[in-house]
């Protein structure tokens, strides 16, 4: 569903940000992309969504991510941005939710059905007509996920989905992510969340893949994590103590 083959990227003539990145994510798989600040996580997400283009081949559901294919790729892809304020650019939750379906040519009735179904799925029905600037950070994050789900994407990319959320809303978002059947690639520094939601983890540093394997194994490898400016997830730290 997600594939990168020998992908490299640099900004103009600057330093190489990503070097020879290759990995594949199978249908229904949930993969965590971890790494310290500046490791290249966000660049990978931007390459996958076609915001940036680099050398090598990037495929989403078998379609190459290229300028010509962008509408087709983006139809299959939902990208939950780190900053929900950027994602919720319309005045109300409802207007944001209908944005994608209407752009993709769905009728008013079909859109309405989809919006109601997603809101019910995420238990957000009460937020339907709320003003975006009036809802809390947690609600906004959930609403941002809802705006993506109305597109019925096959692949979901999430950039720091639990960043700056309180424990209650963090747990809510984690449970929501776990319940989503789509193929997911999640970047985060919240390794406990990654452990909770992903079966596989890719660790990157300095623009290259350092490790790719089972989440329980990589996230329990203290030496590996510390060598790449990361720490054990809190839940595993307690267990090891």
Q: Is 74 in the site for another protein (CB under 8 A)?
A: yes
Site string for another protein, 115-134 (x = CB under 8 A): --------------x-x-x-
Q: Which of 96-104, 162-170, 179-187, 196-204 is the region at the interface with another protein (rule: CB under 8 A)?
A: 96-104
| 30 vs 150, beta carbon nearer another protein | 150
From 87, 162, 169, 182, residue interacting with another protein (rule: CB under 8 A): 87
| 35 vs 153, beta carbon nearer another protein | 153
Given a contact cutoff of 8 angstroms between Cβ atoms, the answer to whether 111 and 98 are in contact is yes
Token pair, residue 168, equals: 């209650």
Pairing of strands 155-159, 16-25: unpaired
How far, in Å, are 52, 88, 147 from residue 156 at the CA level?
17, 17, 12
- Phi, then psi, of 58 in degrees rounded to 5: -125, 130
- Phi, then psi, of 112 in degrees rounded to 5: -60, -45
- β-bridge partners, 209: 204
Q: Is 183 in the site for another protein (CB under 8 A)?
A: no
What is the binding site for another protein (CB under 8 A)? 49, 51, 70-71, 74-75, 77, 79, 81, 83, 85-87, 89-92, 94-95, 98-100, 102-104, 108, 129, 131, 133, 147-148, 151
């Amino acid at each position: 569903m997600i594939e990168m083959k020998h992908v490299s990227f640099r900004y103009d003539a600057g330093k190489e940000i990503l070097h020879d990145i290759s990995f594949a994510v199978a249908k229904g798989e949930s993969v965590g992309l971890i790494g310290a600040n500046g490791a290249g996580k966000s660049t990978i997400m931007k390459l996958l969504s076609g915001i940036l283009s680099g050398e090598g081949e990037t495929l989403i559901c078998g379609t190459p991510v290229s300028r010509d294919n962008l509408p087709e790729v983006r139809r299959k892809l939902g990208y939950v941005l780190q900053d929900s304020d950027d994602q919720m650019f319309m005045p109300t939750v409802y207007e944001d939710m209908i944005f994608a379906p209407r752009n993709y040519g769905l009728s008013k009735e079909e859109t309405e059905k989809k919006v109601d179904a997603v809101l019910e799925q995420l238990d957000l029905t009460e937020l339907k007509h709320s003003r975006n600037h009036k809802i809390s950070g947690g609600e906004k994050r959930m609403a941002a996920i809802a705006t993506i789900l109305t597109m019925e994407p096959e692949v979901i990319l999430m950039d720091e989905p639990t960043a700056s959320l309180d424990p209650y809303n963090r747990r809510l978002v984690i449970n929501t992510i776990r319940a989503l059947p789509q193929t997911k690639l999640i970047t985060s520094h919240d390794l406990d969340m990654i452990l909770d939601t992903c079966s596989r983890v890719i660790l990157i540093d300095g623009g290259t893949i350092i490790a790719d394997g089972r989440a329980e194994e990589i996230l329990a490898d203290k030496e590996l994590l510390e060598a790449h400016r990361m720490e054990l997830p809190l839940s595993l730290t307690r267990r090891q103590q």
